[in-house]
Structure 1
């Protein structure tokens, strides 16, 4: 088999069609991922364009030049839209399809349609722009750590580079008048790069989707569904890891006062709102990176590293005071307060259970002493006495 451009274009047709089918089938198993569906449509569309380009000289030029290239540019626009969908941004479908429309309109201009150099420059510019835009979309979402995000960024940017390099080459070494476009070595390079790009995109985009699903499952398994705080298992694991590093640490255990009465008087919807409100407030006031966990019911906890008992008490007081000022205009008689128990010492290296036990004891003392207050765990020497 001769690997001339026509043969490579037919191979692109088969490869792109199979990849598009794979994306669509994957979407049928994960209907919540719109990106998979859009990428599937993009590749199926691109396969039709590859087939049209391969039939150059067999079908009318208006189909192989005008229509096929317009469809190919639409496919690149859909890849960009799919990446926007993956990142949770608006699709911008009109803009995605604008490249194909611009190409189709320019083909109605005889001077443009008759100049192969002009056609190469415009098609390469539009295709490169869509690939660059898709690469930027992946990069913009880097706050969500996915291993395949960086390969996807590089892959899209590299393919855009193939198109952009083609622009000066078309100007510096324009095709001879009357030359067969399918005999162009650049077309062979782009066809081969297109096949490799299609296969690499399939693996990379699938990997991105899989990594996000796994990440969401990990988050769901470690997060309290109501408040968004870490659940008890995740909090214990994080606290134990922090304690292994040694150094001073302070455990703060919070219990919302009279929470059962709030539920009984105002209903569980208000009670849930109170829990969410406390969690949001505490997360805002705690130092960045501090893990707040919901231990169960109306009880929360956090572990502060490198905090003296005095500093931990000051932190707890900020939260207690702020929570007491929360008010719901529709419920003027609702009063909110929280009791806090603190255990802070250098003596708890790796001993999560001991730290939690002492913080709980301090919390119970705060409850006994009237609630809406903070109590520090008693020093070890006094407890022993």
Structure 2
């Protein structure tokens, strides 16, 4: 019990250090409930049965329920904390009636079944977010799976766990090892939960250094890192460099706040019209870039045309007007394509990408020189990465 309270205190301390993580509060309360559940079980026969049977087991069920709702909160899903009360309340009601009121074996079977269901919910929640997979997360799935197997074993061997109206786990000295294992697992689970939170915090700080705060797109540094990772498989690859036309005039006519809205809107259009595997960034004031792994010239042209159309439509919906009329945003786009060798090293791929983006940037200047609101294409590379052909 004392260890569970210490673990709860540790959770609350980490919650104080990481106020933006609501899951920690739920997990802290879970450890407090575990402490009371263990205390009630150990004091069975010395305190009223309602406190040692109904309330103590209800507290354990509440703890497992909060473990599950805490994982939902951690994954930024609706926590449904009230759902954690269903199993404890059901338990308190069920033990008032036969057969649970008369049979300790039946009580062991029912509570072990309830705990198993709650453990399955936690395991499923942790396993379903594969994109968030990490070693601490995988370790927690393993620990909870072991706890699930233990509870399933309790269901199968329930008759052997009861003797003389007492649960042997709390009365038989030979079962002390199982209690020690349980305490060790609780400490390990607490440690893993804290690791998950700290890992999340570090990832957020790292990601923030790679993002443009206004648009949420990658910044230039993030663009270079993610593009290299996305293109490592080799094969066809396209680059698109975009520049919002006459953006200074937008700021002068409608104000800088309107200009910021237009930049954020264009970023949204890019993310909506491109694939998740494509890499999108704001690389300058009103200049954006994207790398499209696996895309050929036809695909890149199609995407660029869709981006132009969607941006014009979305900007008109902003309803920004002045004496000169409604603001309809236009964008000039430069494209370039290449084929990256699948067996190339990171340095060669990086050089190829730099040349590819430079080629698209030259094509963009051609689009602006030709009157803006155009798509111009740089000539495709026909040699190895690092050798660029001239702009068309």
Give the TM-score range, shorter chain. 0.7 to 0.9
- Paired with 2:371 and 2:61, the residues of 1 have a C-alpha distance of 71
Match of 2:343 in 1: none
Picking from 151, 162, 165, the partner of 1:175 is 162
- Paired with 1:127 and 1:196, the residues of 2 have a C-alpha distance of 19
- Paired with 2:19 and 2:200, the residues of 1 have a C-alpha distance of 14
- Deviation, 1:272, is 2.4
Matched ranges for 1:280-299 at <5 A: 280-299=268-287
Secondary structure of the residue aligned to 1:38 is helix
The runs of 5 or more residues in structure 1 that have no matched partner are 1-12
TM-score (norm 1): 0.85
The runs of 5 or more residues in structure 2 that have no matched partner are 341-347, 381-387
Secondary structure of the residue aligned to 1:33 is coil
Match of 1:52 in 2: 40
Computed over aligned residues only, the root mean square deviation of the Cα atoms, in angstroms, reads 2.9
Match of 1:376 in 2: 377
Matched ranges for 1:24-103 at <5 A: 24-103=12-91
TM-score (norm 2): 0.83
Match of 1:330 in 2: 319
> Is contact 1:343-1:359 (8 Å) kept?
yes
Match of 1:359 in 2: 360
Cα distance change of structure 1 residues 329 and 86 upon mapping to structure 2, 3 Å threshold: closer
Cα distance change of structure 1 residues 180 and 195 upon mapping to structure 2, 3 Å threshold: closer
- Paired with 1:142 and 1:378, the residues of 2 have a C-alpha distance of 40
- Deviation, 1:93, is 2.9
- Deviation, 1:87, is 1.8
Match of 1:236 in 2: 224
> Is contact 2:239-2:292 (8 Å) kept?
yes
Picking from 343, 350, 356, the partner of 2:336 is 343
Picking from 179, 192, 205, the partner of 1:217 is 205
- Deviation, 1:222, is 1.1
Cα distance change of structure 1 residues 274 and 49 upon mapping to structure 2, 3 Å threshold: same
- Paired with 2:285 and 2:219, the residues of 1 have a C-alpha distance of 11
- Deviation, 1:196, is 2.6
Match of 1:146 in 2: 134
- Paired with 2:233 and 2:121, the residues of 1 have a C-alpha distance of 44
Match of 1:10 in 2: none
- Deviation, 1:178, is 4.3
- Deviation, 1:166, is 0.9
Alignment deviations for residues 135-155 of structure 1 (CA, whole Å, 9 cap, x no partner): 222122223233222221222
